[in-house]
Structure 1
């Protein structure tokens, strides 16, 4: 039985929107492995599907739930977050203009630069809201926003960005991987498409690589995105889709627990003598805090960064001294991760080389604080 639409998003996620598969009424949806579907004698498709690359029933539960959580018209799963973002760019027409942030997911930024050069796409980068407004004094086709922005967690006003984008004739796409629909719903703030690297919080267990797009309107642009997915073959396997749907059912308790710990860690270390700064939008000292309070409802996410006094070598020593945090790339899972981010991004990075990026998991926050304390102390010992 389908749930009443008035139920909270947390309840919808926990019960997978309440849709019960027939005929067995499974509490846990089955894995759909079929790649092709039988036609009727007259050539019609009674099941409504031709081939799994176009529309696999394995995608239905997660796509339906994400539409509910984001308040969108349609959702589409992809083989990765990069595949989802790439489909947006591939939906653009020749001669289009993209406006994107300097500070964003590094791999996507680099891919976007190469794509624009090869496909005769104009690409301009903005550093802040003022630069975005200036760039949108002339027409554009796509405005990309990532907020909070990796790895400094700068905040951009989504509603204002939507106004500027639409006035310039552009669509607004928001990478909402970090806040998730638990804390931010970009479509309700005026965005046209929301993107997630579902590898991160949506799945939440470091065992699936996936991406998703959710659109506010099922329009021609969305049709081109779906064509890019099917024609490019950037589709998710059925088992991975099933694992993603499983992870979504615990999204709210996982993200809320991790965000509460991240806030506590940020508050504890904000004035620590071994640190230059703690970057976290939940702190009143963060320059994007007021905007974050308006557009992030119920929490500020579970990502923060520490700038270590003593520069790159000191940051490397701290990362090497942790015992509970895992030294690994990625974010959004149940285990806490730490990464000395600048050297990972490599030449041309804008990330301060003294910055440690923390993805806070669901461990006890006292244990995580103690681990960072001992690592900072050990790194500063003669």
Structure 2
């Protein structure tokens, strides 16, 4: 099967490698990227000299007969590129967030409604063995109806959002759209519910400062004493070495959200971007009257606490695969979608809902108000 790629970045290259593992007959047929010369050289070094490079998505879509298209551009272009692919009916793999503004989100929803394409959104966490087990336990009724959720994401590599292009909020749309979109998706997937209202708060306490805009770590007089200095890290591209204490550093460095559901229950979620080492954590507690199930992706453990008997069940998982194995499942599903043998198990409807929730959380944090989660104009 022939793949077209719009935005040939590191993330989508990894996804493509997973797709090829699932079906070795898959091959990159064409690429659209503004870095044509650099990518041509990279492809040559990989022995991929028959890949066609195009200036625009329109040119590629008009010239090639493709079995699937993968979009891996920077986040602000996800919507506009998806709207070029959707009318073709070609299966689409779309990176998250599907949109970074409410205007784009509404355009994408309208375009999708009128389209013929199956879309697989990059939401791998819902497909991990851990989340699948948690959902199985909850759906069995073992802990009773879930009446409260507490979720956290303490990110130990948070500096990436302040030291490279992610620092530009015009690209990211804020860190709810970058990180929480994954967590909101798996929470709502497990519950089988969508929130009706949301309130949120963000703060920027660490990654701020008076260093001049545009300063690179390598040019900073404090690069030998700064705990965040990337000046001497050979594993980082120089473009990732901007000062995270400069005046032009965007993004909040922590945020919290409360979500109300139609049943009356609520969930809390909190994310942090300056913890380090063993302080990292990502997971949730789902609490019913009969019991609680909790998990942490980093430790690979799921625990079930029964409230009325002295019993704790523990399950342990081991996986070094991308996104805890979820990327493999998404790749397998995308291959099946291209073959025409399956429907998307991470559809655009869920990508739209998660992005809407993130945008409403962002608006809540900016205005200090509760926000209803509904589709304006639909």
TM-score of the two chains, using structure 1 as the length reference:
0.32
Judging by fraction of residues, say which structure has more strand: 2
TM-score of the two chains, using structure 2 as the length reference:
0.32
The higher relative CO (CA closer than 8 Å, separation ≥ 6) is in 2
